[in-house]
Amino acid sequence: MREGRTLKNLAVELERQLVSKKDMIVPAMKMRLSTSTTGQCTLLIDETDGEREYPVNTFALHQIADKHAIPHGYFERMRLEMPILLDRNVNAWMHAHPHINRLVRTLDRRARAFLTDRYRRIDHWDLANYILPILDRLPGARFESLELTESRLYLKVVTSKVCCEVAPGDVIQAGVVVSNSEIGSAKLRVEPLIYRLVCKNGLIAADRSMRKTHLGRKLISDEEHVVVFQDDTLKADDHALFLKVRDMVEAAVSAVTFQLISAKMQKTMGIQLTCDPVRSVEVLAKRLTLNEDERGGVLRHLVEGGELSAYGLINAVTGYSQNIADYDRATAFEEFGGHMLDFEPSEWKAIAAAA
């Protein structure tokens, strides 16, 4: 499993961001895009005390393109080659619907999200404050990996009290992953985690997860002014949601859930890779949309692991996650391992006996 932050470091950064972020409900006519000759895009927002500038990050630019139905390729071409044309396009479409309001989320005076006014805010700070004590009270709890990326918060906890041997000397432990996005890149998710002691691999079983969409009632707005969104607005709704998160955490690390997932893992041991491992990895790479470097990394882990079976291939995928610098992508490989547990026999046959 990819290493992340310490609990103390995570708490410090969450607290720093709490005082450095601002959310605004902005009428379309109160903002415009301005792009420099170097391609840097800035949102200019007409606030109560005057116009303010918010440089826009890459993810929010994609959201601006999506909200105005501008293809990403064309958006990028205009941004890099004809920034004046980009501004004309975006601002024309933005102001064509003057009664539309957007939720603009900023951090460190930079625009990080461009969302609808029905986006349901579930903030990292509130979630962490509620769920970390619950995770800490799990029997034999160990905070195995914590991270806060530009797009998501991850809390990965393992309990040593729920475990078994899937093979002699091969011990796995139960765990849970709680993840969240503040910018619309993912849902709030609570998912069972399987941790393999021998190689410190993590596998996320997404099929038994809770996923909460960030969608709620329309935010209270003022069609003529920018409204700074207050943090106490959704406290009551948050409490009900977090109670459900608590229940899902308990279910994720339960003996019943663990036994169901470990049984699936043991079944994959009986599926032997009867063809050239290179070919098996190629077929899998197409299914998972892996790039050339990722495919080579998975193959290397498979060969070094010395277990030419579906179980060995799953561990090669989750093991390679530890070599990926980007934490979001590393976590995706842990999720791939969970998806592979649910492959149909026909899918495994195509991989194990690829021609």
Give the per-residue pLDDT at 227.
59
- Asked whether residue 69 falls in the same domain as residue 110, the answer is yes
Q: Is 139 helix (H, G, I), strand (E, B) or coil?
A: coil
Residue 294: what are its φ and ψ, rounded to 5°?
Answer: -65, -40
Residues in contact with 13: Cβ distance below 8 Å, sequence separation at least 6, in sequence order: 5, 148
> Would you call 54 helix, strand, or coil by DSSP?
strand
State residue 240's pLDDT score. Answer: 80
- Report the chain's C-alpha Rg in angstroms: 23
Q: What is the tally of structural domains in the chain? A: 3
- List pLDDT tens digits, range 270-293: 999 999 999 999 999 999 999 999
Supply 187's token pair: 């849902």
Residue 226 confidence (pLDDT) above 80: no
Identify the three-state secondary structure at position 145. strand
Domain boundary among 116, 151, 180: 116
Say if CB 212 and CB 241 are below 8 A apart.
yes
| Residues 188 and 172: beta-carbon distance below 8 Å | no
Per-chain mean pLDDT for the chain = 91
Same domain, 98 and 134: no
Q: Is residue 155 part of a domain?
A: yes
Which of 116, 140, 166 is at the close of a domain?
116
Q: What is the dihedral of CA 197, 203, 210, 258, to 10 degrees?
A: -50
Q: Are residues 43 and 82 in the same domain?
A: yes
275 vs 9, 280, 299, 307, CA distance in Å?
47, 7, 13, 13
At residue 219 the predicted structure's pLDDT band, cuts being 50, 70 and 90, is very low
The Cα–Cα gap between 193 and 203 comes to: 6
Residue 6 lies in a domain: no
Q: Distance between CA atoms of 332 and 338, rounded to whole angstroms?
A: 10
For residues 280 and 261, membership in a common domain is answered with no
CA distances from 312 to 54, 158, 172, 273, 350 (A): 48, 22, 14, 9, 16
On the question of pLDDT at 108 being above 80, the answer is yes
Model pLDDT, residue 220? 47
Is residue 2 one of the residues assigned to a domain? Answer: no
Q: Is residue 227 assigned to a domain? A: no
Residue 5 inside a domain? The answer is no
Residue 325: is its pLDDT beyond 90? Answer: yes
- Interatomic CA distance for residues 119 and 91, integer angstroms: 22
- What is the pTM assigned to this prediction? 0.90
Q: How far apart are CA 335 and CA 163, in angstroms?
A: 20
The answer to whether residue 67 sits within a structural domain is: yes
pLDDT at residue 239, as a whole number: 78
Whether residues 209 and 144 share a domain: the answer is: yes
Report the amino acid identity of residue 241: L
Do 133 and 240 lie in one domain? The reply is yes
Helices (H), 47-191: 58-67, 72-81, 83-95, 124-136
**Residues 250, 277 within the same domain:** no
Q: Are residues 162 and 251 in the same domain?
A: yes
Same domain for 240 and 252, yes or no, is yes
Residues 81 and 176 in one domain: no
Residue type at 133 in one-letter notation:
P
Range of the domain at 339: 269-352
Decide if 226 is inside a domain: no
Whether 242 shows a pLDDT value over 70: the answer reads yes
The pair of structure tokens assigned to 304 is: 């070094």
Look at residue 243 and tell me whether its pLDDT is greater than 90: no
Q: Quick check: is 32 in a domain?
A: yes
According to DSSP, the residues that pair with 104 across neighbouring strands are 24, 114
Give 225-252 as a DSSP string.
S-EEPPTTTTHHHHHHHHHHHHHHHHHH
Residue for token digits 């959704």? 234
Q: Output the pLDDT for position 211.
A: 63
Tokens matching residue 224 = 């003529």
105 and 131 together in one domain: no
Tell me, yes or no, whether 171 and 183 share the same domain. Answer: yes
User: Which residues are CB-contacts of 291 (< 8 A; sequence separation ≥ 6)?
Assistant: none
| 218 closest CA partner among 127, 100, 65 | 100
For the chain, the distance separating the N- and C-terminal CA atoms, rounded to the nearest angstrom, is 32
Region of poorest pLDDT, from 33-37, 156-160, 182-186, 293-297: 182-186
